[in-house]
RNA sequence: GUGGAUGUAGUUCAGCGGUAGAGCACCAGAUUGUGGAUCUGGUAGUCGCGGGUUCAAAUCCCGUCAUCCACCCCA
């Protein structure tokens, strides 16, 4: 008979149902709005790139679990695994047409063939924002400020932004005589938040010996205040420098702009990615240590040098939208899924459907989102439909009302109805209900 | 990629060699123009997929796909 193809999807790839997609788009639009408030402009780049562009000249790091294949024209091709590397290529190619400093945001899917877990997929949405063309505390700080405002606008409670500086850390490693093992050291140090001081020390003892391990531990352990931490790492790194001064400036401005409750100078933050050269950022939900980093980034002054001789310093950060949503779901802070429709015109009789569309068109022209139920099903079924869709208002108009040109309006949440209203009156009532609702949302 | 756990009705799960079950959800009726209660009745499944052992497999074995957890890495 019929051989049905299984409607399956690949490991780590997912469909997004309306309830999820509505929430995702809401979060996305809040972020876009916030970026634009700060003068960031949108861009897009291709999903596919030449493999050499994504992997750099060596092309050897298969570590990155990149999706790679040969196209029908024999080209060596890969799918982007982040938005920062394609952005560096983008800047190298388009700098003459643009202006500096250039501030962009980019929300798009990226692909990594890694093993899956909750909040960790093979196809996921990243949201990057970067400032290119200046190497200054101003840009480093603006990224931090923007991160904080994004999470504020999303009404995410309890986010901590941890910052550190690669340059200071490298000075310290040089002084320690361990610069040659910096990769292993940074990996171990980065785990402090997860496994604790003892375990980190055990790892460090293996690579650098116990006395150096103790010095490293002293360096990465934050003091009780950011100022004290800065003083400590400045001393351990061999004194004041351009890097520690910049870190101090960023912290000072964070205080001034009211971020001091959220910004933590945390020298154990190093970031695994090797292209960072200056400040690095990492974000945590203290309630959800297992969910991993939701927003991280840093300064990369040499990234574009792979593709151009022009010096293009940059600083930026990336929000993992899918992981953010997984985290919000966990703490039940996701915005309630709404259909996006405000009013349902119920169908009492088929022959009145033309009238229903007139009503709906009037409501739409008054700026409200309306839809007509397309079938004269029993009312309970229509109410159930409205409830499932989260539609807050119903308009009911049977033959008696239609004959005298009136209708009833029902607040589907309180179940109160008002009868015998003209179209204009009904529209006014609907608007009042919606306004009350949106006030409640802001209040909560 | 490595190690482990789990896949049974729309959903949450029970059953763990002998005829596939429950709650919730869903559908119908009590209620032919106003849904959240109650009652009555009903639908509900290739037991993830493929192979093997057995008189007999949801149950045991192997493979495979997917999800979750840890590692790795990171968003």
Domain positions in chain A: 18-37+81-330, 343-443
Separation in Å: B66 C1' and A109 CA = 22
Residues in chain A, overall count: 444
- Whether the ω angle into residue A353 lies within 30 degrees of 0, i.e. cis, is no
Exposed, middle or buried, A443 (CB in 10 Å: 0-12/13-18/19+)?
exposed
Residue A363: per-residue pLDDT: 96
Average pLDDT of chain A to the nearest whole number: 88
Contacts of A438 (CB under 8 A, 6+ apart): none
For helices A182-190 and A192-208, the axis angle rounded to 10 degrees is 150
- CB within 8 A of A421, min separation 6: which ones? A406, A407, A408, A409, A429
Rounded Cα distance between A200 and A180, Å, is 19
Q: Please tell me the predicted confidence (pLDDT) of residue A440.
A: 62
Q: Is the CB of A401 under 7 A from strand B?
A: yes
Phi, psi torsion values for A27, nearest 5 degrees? -60, -45
Which CATH architecture group holds A18-37+81-330? 2-Layer Sandwich (3.30)
A443 pLDDT exceeds 60?
A: no
| CATH T-level topology, domain A343-443 | Rossmann fold (3.40.50)
What kind and span of H or E run contains A360? helix A353-365
From residues 234-293 of A, which are strand B contacts by CB within 7 A?
Answer: 271-273, 290, 292-293
Q: Closest nucleotide to A411's CA, by C1' atom?
A: B34
Residue with tokens 């400040």: A279
Most confident stretch, A242-256, A272-286, A314-328, A427-441: A242-256
A5 touches strand B (CB under 7 A): no
Q: How many CA atoms lie within 13 A of A388 on its CB side?
A: 7
Chain B bases closer than 7 angstroms to a protein Cβ: 1-3, 26-28, 33-36, 46, 65-75
Per residue in A321-377, pLDDT tens? 988 888 877 776 655 555 578 999 998 888 899 999 999 999 999 999 999 988 787
């Amino acid at each position: 008979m019929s051989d049905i193809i299984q409607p399956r999807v690949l490991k780590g790839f997912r469909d997004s149902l309306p309830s999820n997609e509505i929430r995702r788009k809401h979060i996305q639009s809040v972020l876009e709005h916030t970026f634009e408030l700060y003068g960031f402009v949108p861009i897009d780049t291709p999903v596919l790139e030449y493999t050499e562009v994504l992997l750099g000249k060596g092309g050897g790091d298969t570590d990155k679990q990149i999706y790679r294949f040969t196209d029908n024209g024999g080209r060596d091709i890969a799918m982007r695994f982040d938005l920062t590397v394609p952005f560096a290529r983008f800047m190298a190619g388009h700098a003459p047409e643009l202006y500096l400093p250039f501030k962009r945001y980019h929300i798009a899917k990226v692909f990594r063939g890694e093993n899956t877990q909750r909040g960790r997929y093979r196809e996921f949405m990243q949201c990057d924002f970067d400032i290119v063309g200046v190497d200054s505390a101003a840009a480093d700080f603006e990224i931090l400020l923007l991160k904080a405002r994004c999470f504020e606008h999303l009404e995410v409670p309890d986010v901590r932004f941890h910052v550190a500086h690669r340059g200071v850390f490298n000075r310290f490693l040089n002084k320690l005589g361990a610069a040659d093992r910096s990769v292993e050291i940074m990996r171990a140090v980065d785990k402090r938040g997860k496994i604790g001081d003892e375990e980190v020390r055990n790892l460090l003892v293996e690579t650098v010996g116990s006395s150096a391990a103790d010095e490293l531990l002293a360096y990465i352990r934050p003091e009780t205040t950011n100022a004290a931490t800065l003083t400590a790492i400045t001393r351990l790194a061999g004194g004041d420098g351009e890097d520690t001064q910049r870190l101090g400036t960023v912290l000072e401005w964070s205080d001034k702009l009211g971020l001091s409750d959220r910004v933590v100078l945390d020298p154990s933050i190093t970031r695994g990615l090797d292209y960072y050269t200056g400040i690095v950022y990492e974000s945590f939900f203290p309630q959800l240590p297992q969910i991993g980093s939701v927003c991280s980034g840093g300064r990369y002054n040499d990234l574009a040098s792979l593709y151009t001789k022009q010096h293009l310093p940059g600083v930026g950060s990336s929000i993992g939208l899918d992981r953010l949503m997984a985290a919000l779901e966990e703490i039940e802070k996701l915005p309630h899924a709404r259909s996006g429709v405000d009013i349902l015109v119920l169908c009492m009789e088929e022959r009145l459907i033309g009238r229903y569309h007139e009503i709906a068109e009037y409501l739409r022209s008054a700026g409200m989102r309306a839809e007509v139920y397309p079938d004269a099903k029993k009312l309970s079924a229509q109410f159930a439909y409205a409830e499932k869709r989260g539609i807050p208002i119903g308009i009911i108009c049977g033959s008696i009302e239609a004959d005298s040109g009136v209708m009833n309006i029902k607040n589907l949440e309180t179940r109160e109805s008002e009868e015998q209203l003209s179209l204009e009156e009904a529209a006014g009532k609907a608007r009042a209900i919606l306004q009350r609702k949106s006030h409640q949302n802001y209040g909560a």
